[in-house]
Amino acid sequence: MASKKVLLQNINWCKGCGVCVGFCPKQVLKIEDDKCVIAYPDKCIFCKQCELRCPDNAIYIGGIDNGL
Amino acid sequence: MNCNETTKNYYRVDKLPHIWCPGCGHGTLMNAVVRAVEKLQLNKDDLVIVSGIGCSSRAPGYLDFNTLHTTHGRALAFATGIKLANPKLHVIVITGDGDSSAIGGNHLIHAARRNIDITTIVFNNNIYGMTGGQYSPTTPYGDFATTSAYGNIDKPFDLCSLAQGAGSTYVGRATAYHVTLMQRLIEKAIQNKGFSFVEGLSICPTYYGRKNKKGDAFEMHSFYKNNCVDIRVVEKTPEKGENKILIGEFHNDPKPEYTESYQVIIDKFQGMGGN
Amino acid sequence: MAYKLVQGNEACVEGALAAGMRFFAGYPITPSTEIAEISSQKLPQYGGKFIQMEDEIASMAAIIGASLAGVKSMTATSGPGFSLMQENLGYAAITETPCVLVNVQRGGPSTGLPTLPAQGDIMQAKWGTHGDHPTVALTPNSVQEVYEYTIKAFNIAEKFRTPVILLMDETVGHLREKMLIKDPSEIEIINRKKPTCKPEEYIAFKSDDSIPPMAAFGEGYRYHVTGLIHDETGFPTNNSQIADNLIRRLVGKVENNIDDFSYYEEYKLEDAEIVILAFGGVSRSAKSAVDKLRSKDLKVGLFRPITMWPFLEKQISNIAQKVEEIFVAEMNLGQYYLEVDRVAGKYCRVEKINKVNGELITPDEIISVIGGKYELQRNN
């Protein structure tokens, strides 16, 4: 693996609108108590559909690129 | 701060979360603006974002540039003064449908006519959101708003046609769903030396959506996904555009830019005259 | 130094250029249009810019924008345009953006008497834009003074970071007189205070002396400007204490510094028992009336405010305590009278001499009111 990507959240910014949940092609996300929850992180394919459309900059792909 | 690098670099992160309602398309469109600026590697000190009044116009407060939140409808007039005073600045106006085409309609057509180098980005949510959901110049015929209780009998503006007709040298439209297209159009709009106009069809689940039974934010995005066609497709196959919303680059026809034309006058007459 | 025969409106442009105006935005309107025309011709010669906007709302907006980008800016208009500029005049006040707005007054209301003089915008200058706000308005009465006070208008705007209104009337705007153009070395020019701190330390609306240093857009200080009530950082807030502080500071920075720009003329006031208070075009008639009434052995003097706003309360109160009566002569139905009476009314009688027919109040009209009353008294 050249890099280890992770799906991250800023839960304080999330307003629970569900746009990310709707557009996630792998059903990684769900809404719980009016906030988005990363329910199945292992299923994430890092396609960035959530990050691209989240109106609140509250979900994103992060991680450490080890440069290989 | 817990966010991606783009957000860290271009936002005033201490001002987030923003004031917009859950699911509002404006946040997504604002991100398209930021990504375009990032892609073009513009110096933050050289960029001015000007807005008027309304939901859209709260955007500049969250962005780490020179930012100016002006009076309702007048953003382009303020921006004109800024650009003329210092043509080296990149000037982007973020405005709304009511701000740009009702109270600010006159400023829009005249800024476009002059072809002054200002990039205008409209977050069009088809409603006055900030004041609670009144119909705007882009509310579709027959639709409901708090001031069109029996259905809207105004005919809506096609903002892109309006801007193009008034002389805008770059015109395009995308949606909160079509964010990568939105970003590309903004990049090209900024690069156009002249008046550029990009309409971003936004979503307002709180007012326009609820009043017109358009569903939640995801459903409103999906509507754009399923009902928009790129102009290039329609140019080849016109029937694909029937009853669809056209998106894409509509017009790209550079013409002499206003501040450059003015500089020609200064270069010719500076130092002449006097008492 | 050079003398020139010019019109008041032309003197305004000369003064503005001398003060450093390098941006003008305007919309044609009688009787101020010459200011736009001459600016359009002269500004490029000075490396400056002129733009004819789509209306007066846009003109006011454009000069604020240009000023925020660091360029001294002006617009000029008359009544109907002045009405349209009110919204953004308030914006300039709350955002503390220096700029000069010239209003060459004509008869109103509405389209009124476009080519004829009036002084009916006195209260509009003070209260035209909504909310409590600072107001500075200067009223020259000669071509030379138009030149001088246009320069002062810019200096006050820059020093106090506030819009300044040059309140002319058609009489003065279209008056032709000899004007002395000063050598630049003889002219005091004040420029806005700039921040000296590092950009990351800049707090855009924080100051020690109630006037915050002002960075121009593009100078590396990225800050936020809004017409909403804002805190010292420039960002909106509904905090009641911050709102109160801001409005009091904005008004206070002008009101508390009025001694810095209290301009007026006193004529034969030393032994005066009767005072004519007049300004702008009317003050020229008033001065002539003073001389003629003096020849009838009436001890009449003239007080002419040049600083119209803030109101010269101290000076007018002092005069009121020494005289029997003040006649406020103005081309409206008694707008400035209201202020004069408020301050002077407890010490002396205050009377009105008014005219709203588009004609200048003549010396004879003033003489007939004052002479009529006092000669009659004396004869009885």
Report the domain count for chain B. 1
Structure confidence at residue C299 (pLDDT): 97
C241 in a domain, yes or no?
no
Q: Mind listing the pLDDT tens digit for each residue in A12-48?
A: 999 999 999 999 999 999 999 999 999 999 999 999 9
C137 in a domain, yes or no?
yes
Residues C26 and C159 in one domain: yes
Q: Is A55's CB within 8 Å of B2's CB?
A: no
Q: Which of 73-102 (C) contact B at CB < 8 A?
A: 73, 87-88, 91
Q: How far apart are CA C184 and CA C22, in angstroms?
A: 16
**B4 to chain C nearest CA, in Å?**
21
What the block records as the tokens of C331 is: 């081309």
What confidence category does residue B274 fall into, taking pLDDT thresholds of 50, 70 and 90?
Answer: low
Rg for chain B, CA atoms, rounded: 19
**B160 to chain A nearest CA, in Å?**
23
**For the domain that residue B213 is a member of, what is the CATH number?**
3.40.50.970
Q: Which residues of B touch A57 (CB under 8 A)?
A: 3-4, 7, 11, 16, 27, 31
**Residue that is written with structure tokens 């000899």 in the block:** C178
Report the domain count for chain A. 1
Lowest mean pLDDT among B61-65, B156-160, C178-182, C259-263: C178-182
> Which of A16, A55, A61 is facing B28, going by the closest CB pair?
A55
B51 in a domain, yes or no?
yes
Q: Considering C186, C210, C232, which residue would you say is the last residue of a domain? A: C186
**Residue that is written with structure tokens 């006055």 in the block:** B128
What residues contact C180, with CB distance under 8 A and at least 6 apart? C1, C2, C3, C144, C147
Minimal Cα distance from B180: which residue of A? A52
What the block records as the tokens of A37 is: 């929850």
Does any CB of chain B come closer than 8 Å to the CB of residue A46? no
Percent of chain C with pLDDT over 70: 100
Q: Is B216's CB within 8 Å of A21's CB?
A: no
**A64 to chain B nearest CA, in Å?**
12
Rounded to the nearest integer, the mean pLDDT of chain C is: 97
| Residues B14/B33, Cβ–Cβ less than 8 Å | no
Question: Do A and B touch, counting CB pairs below 8 Å (3 needed)?
Answer: yes
**Which among C89, C270, C296, C43 has a CA at the least distance from the CA of B84?**
C43
Among A21, A53, A56, A57, which would you mutate to test the B interface (most chain B Cβ atoms within 10 Å of its Cβ)? A57
Residues C273 and C182 in one domain: no
**C225 to chain B nearest CA, in Å?**
5
Q: How far apart are CA B169 and CA C351, in angstroms?
A: 62
B9 in a domain, yes or no?
no
Mean pLDDT of C109-132: 98
**Which among B219, B97, B69 has a CA at the least distance from the CA of B154?**
B97
> Which of C42, C61, C217 is facing B70, going by the closest CB pair?
C61
Q: Which residue has the higher pLDDT, C156 or C182?
A: C156
pLDDT greater than 50 at residue A67: no
Q: Is C224's CB within 8 Å of B110's CB?
A: no
**For the domain that residue C107 is a member of, what is the CATH number?**
3.40.50.970
**For the domain that residue A28 is a member of, what is the CATH number?**
3.30.70.20
C327 in a domain, yes or no?
yes
C19 in a domain, yes or no?
yes
C333 in a domain, yes or no?
yes
Does any CB of chain B come closer than 8 Å to the CB of residue C4? yes
What confidence category does residue B35 fall into, taking pLDDT thresholds of 50, 70 and 90?
Answer: very high
Q: Considering C155, C186, C217, which residue would you say is the last residue of a domain? A: C186
Rounded to the nearest integer, the mean pLDDT of chain B is: 97
Indicate the burial class of B273 (C-beta count within 10 angstroms; 0-12, 13-18, 19 or more).
Answer: exposed
Residue-number span of the structural domain to which C92 is assigned: 2-186
**Which among C345, C342, C263, C343 has a CA at the least distance from the CA of C304?**
C263
Q: How far apart are CA B99 and CA B93, in angstroms?
A: 11
C252 in a domain, yes or no?
no
**For the domain that residue C299 is a member of, what is the CATH number?**
3.40.50.920
Residues C38 and C157 in one domain: yes
**Which among B18, B109, B22 has a CA at the least distance from the CA of B60?**
B18
Q: Is B16's CB within 8 Å of A52's CB?
A: no
**B56 to chain A nearest CA, in Å?**
13
**B58 to chain C nearest CA, in Å?**
10
pLDDT greater than 90 at residue B148: yes
Q: How far apart are CA C342 and CA B239, in angstroms?
A: 76
Judge if the upstream peptide bond of residue C310 is cis by omega within 30 degrees of 0: yes
Structure confidence at residue A68 (pLDDT): 42
| Residues B77/B110, Cβ–Cβ less than 8 Å | no
What confidence category does residue B273 fall into, taking pLDDT thresholds of 50, 70 and 90?
Answer: confident
What confidence category does residue B191 fall into, taking pLDDT thresholds of 50, 70 and 90?
Answer: very high
Indicate the burial class of B30 (C-beta count within 10 angstroms; 0-12, 13-18, 19 or more).
Answer: buried
Q: Which residues of B touch A12 (CB under 8 A)?
A: 2, 17
Q: How far apart are CA B58 and CA B26, in angstroms?
A: 10
Q: Mind listing the pLDDT tens digit for each residue in C151-164?
A: 999 999 999 999 99
Minimal Cα distance from B175: which residue of A? A53
| Residues C65/B49, Cβ–Cβ less than 8 Å | no
Q: How many CB pairs under 8 A join A and B?
A: 77
Does any CB of chain B come closer than 8 Å to the CB of residue A47? no
Q: Which residues of C touch B109 (CB under 8 A)?
A: 54
B5 in a domain, yes or no?
no
Give the chains touching A; criterion: ≥3 Cβ pairs < 8 Å: B
Q: Mind listing the pLDDT tens digit for each residue in C294-333?
A: 999 999 999 999 999 999 999 999 999 999 999 999 999 9
Structure confidence at residue A65 (pLDDT): 52
Q: Mind listing the pLDDT tens digit for each residue in B49-88?
A: 999 999 999 999 999 999 999 999 999 999 999 999 999 9
**Which among B168, B169, B172, B202 has a CA at the least distance from the CA of B185?**
B172
Mean pLDDT of B163-175: 98
Structure confidence at residue A66 (pLDDT): 47
Q: Mind listing the pLDDT tens digit for each residue in C63-99?
A: 999 999 999 999 999 999 999 999 999 999 999 999 9
B8 in a domain, yes or no?
no
Q: How far apart are CA C205 and CA C212, in angstroms?
A: 5
Mean pLDDT of B263-272: 96
Q: Mind listing the pLDDT tens digit for each residue in C20-74?
A: 999 999 999 999 999 999 999 999 999 999 999 999 999 999 999 999 999 999 9
Report the domain count for chain C. 2
Q: Which residue has the higher pLDDT, B227 or B275?
A: B227
Residues C35 and C177 in one domain: yes
Mean pLDDT of C197-206: 97
Mean pLDDT of C211-216: 98
Does any CB of chain A come closer than 8 Å to the CB of residue B218? yes
Q: Which residues of C touch B67 (CB under 8 A)?
A: 222-225
Q: Which residues of B touch A10 (CB under 8 A)?
A: 1-3
Does any CB of chain B come closer than 8 Å to the CB of residue C216? yes
pLDDT greater than 70 at residue B140: yes
Q: Considering C167, C186, C205, which residue would you say is the last residue of a domain? A: C186
Give the chains touching C; criterion: ≥3 Cβ pairs < 8 Å: B
Q: Is B80's CB within 8 Å of C219's CB?
A: no
Structure confidence at residue C309 (pLDDT): 98
Q: Is C227's CB within 8 Å of B67's CB?
A: no
Q: Which residues of C touch B46 (CB under 8 A)?
A: 218
Structure confidence at residue C377 (pLDDT): 78
B73 in a domain, yes or no?
yes
Q: Is B4's CB within 8 Å of A21's CB?
A: no
pLDDT greater than 70 at residue B252: yes
Q: Which residues of C touch B265 (CB under 8 A)?
A: 44
The DSSP element (H or E) to which B47 belongs, if any, is strand B47-51
pLDDT greater than 50 at residue B95: yes
- Within chain C, where are the H helices? 8-19, 33-42, 56-68, 79-95, 122-127, 143-160, 170-173, 240-255, 280-294, 313-320, 335-344, 363-379
Dihedrals φ, ψ of B236, to 5°?
-80, -45
